[in-house]
Structures are given as C-alpha cells and as structure tokens.
Structure 1
C-alpha cells in the first residue's frame, strides 16, 4: 500500500513538472517567435487577425504588447477595419484587453475596438467596443489579410 502511495505521489509530481515545463516552453516560443502571425495561434487566435504589413512587435512577460505596422491600413472582413501604425493591448490566452489602434466601420461610424475574445467552442471571434460587441466567424481570419492604403466602400473610396 505504501509503495502505491509513493508511486501516486511520484506520478503527480511528474505530471505537474511536465505541465509547468510545457507552459514555460510555449511562453518561451511565444516570446522568441519572429513572426507575430505564428504567435497568435499559441494564444488561441487565428493568424489572420492582423494584416500582412507588421514591421515589428514587442511582447512583455505580463502580456502587454505593441505592434508596429509598416503603415496605417484598411482590411475588409465582414466589417471594414482600420489599423493604425501602432496597435497596443494586453494579450492572454483567448483574449486581448485594452486594445488601441484598431477601428471598425459600423454603418456610418468608425468605432474603436477595445477588446477581442476567441471562442474556440463556437468558432467565433468577439470584438468589443466598450460594452457592446460584434461576433464574427473565426473562419474569415484564417488567412493573413493584405493591407490597402485606401478603404474601398462600394463606389466610394476613403483616402487616408
């Protein structure tokens, strides 16, 4: 009986050690990744959440990040989205809080995105504008989108 208890305790210690090592390895990979599009899936997001013109980024151990784009740009998903040259926020698995530098066009208004959540179970991404949210299928964020310098709105073009 005593050897069974020791075996169980040893198994528990090995499991905890393996989980801690795995979490540490994922964090190290994330912090050392050269392409932010590779980093996003490690945090539960599709790689196409950000446009193709990322120049550089920093990610702190507490999840705070700053992304520098080559230039401001627009991307057309279900909504037209504007990315400022600098995008900031705080990244955790499945969510981004305190977002700045991303706006979406809703009807005739540009609204600032303040948070993003990935819902793996439902295959959706929630974009928050204050207390309001818009849910979009995660499928449309699977490919890294190309940036455009102008926002095409049907027959009208909005220049930067």
Structure 2
C-alpha cells in the first residue's frame, strides 16, 4: 500500500502535462491550458504532440510560412520546444525579423498574464510584446520557395525569397 502511494506521488509532477493534452482539442487549447496565448502559433497547424515525460512539444505545420505580429515571424514546417506552464523553452523552428536580420526565437515566456505582456528571447535581446497580439492564430503565408536558406541559422530565408516585398 505504501509503495502504491509512493508510485502515485512520483507521477504528480507530470499531471499538469497530462491533463492539458488529454483535454486539448487543438493546439490553441493546449497553449491556453499552459498559460500561453492561443495565437502564438499560426492557423496552419497540421498536428501536434506533447511528450509528458520531457515536456517536449512538437508542432507540425502544413508548410513553412511567415506571419506578422509586430514584425515578421518565420515558422518552419516543424516547431519544437519544451513546454512548461507559462513558457516554451529551447524553441526551434521560429525566427523573427529585426532590423533586416533573422534572429532565432529561443524562448517565449508569460510571467504574469495580468501584466498583458509576453517576452521573446531572440538571442541578442529580450523582446516584450503585448499579449493582445496573440489572441488569435495568425494567417500564415508561404514564401515563394519552400526550403529555407541557411544564412544565419537553420530555418531562415532572405527577404527576396519570402516573396513579401509587396507588404513593405
């Protein structure tokens, strides 16, 4: 009996990951259940999975694409990160354009939802944005080519290849 109680107690830290995934009908539900805004990822999500033992979230998109929040953001076909309540650490597959440079998004954190801000670690800086920008999943536009050019790092494309010159 004591060993059963010990076994149950050893799984309690994982319950916060299991419950949201079991009740998550969509990636937006999963993000919301974990203290992140539902519009953090684009509408073009094909599928997602969460490893409850590690917290590794893997999101597959229909195609690599670009979305606009306050600046242009590139989403690779697969986006990964370690999900914990209020944060996505070790992000891979997301880059943000800053002053004509593509910088990888490494971490996304909401420390206090009542503050109305979300923090992005883009390597050289921490960017603070309004949570209201992420209320709804953005429409994501594919570029003219489907393969990223490794200019700065994996998953990046040049301005010309994005096919978004008309927006500027």
Structure 1 runs of 4+ with >3 Å offset: 26-29, 153-156
Please, what TM-score do these two structures have when normalized by structure 2? 0.73
Distance 1:109 1:131 in 2: 11
Unmatched runs of 5 consecutive residues or more in structure 1? 1-19
- From the two aligned structures, give the one with the greater strand fraction: 1
After superposition, residues 36-75 of structure 1 pair within 5 angstroms as 36-61=27-52, 62-75=54-67
Would you say how many aligned residue pairs link Structure 1 and Structure 2? Answer: 135
Q: Distance in 1 between matches of 2:48 and 2:42?
A: 13
Instruction: Identify the residue that residue 153 of structure 2 maps to in structure 1.
Output: none
The Cα RMSD (Å) is 2.0
* Partner residue of 2:20 out of 8, 12, 30: 30
- Match of residue 137, structure 2, among 119, 141, 144: 144
Which runs of 5 or more structure 2 residues have no equivalent in the other structure? 1-11, 144-161
Tell me the TM-score normalised to structure 1 length: 0.77
Say if 1:145 and 1:155 are closer, same or farther in 2 by CA, change over 3 A: closer
Change (3 A) 1:131 1:106: closer
Compute the displacement of 1:128 (Å): 0.3
1:104 maps onto 2:102 in alignment: no
Deviates more, 1:141-150 or 1:101-110: 141-150
Query: CA separation in 2, counterparts of 1:67 and 1:155?
Result: 27
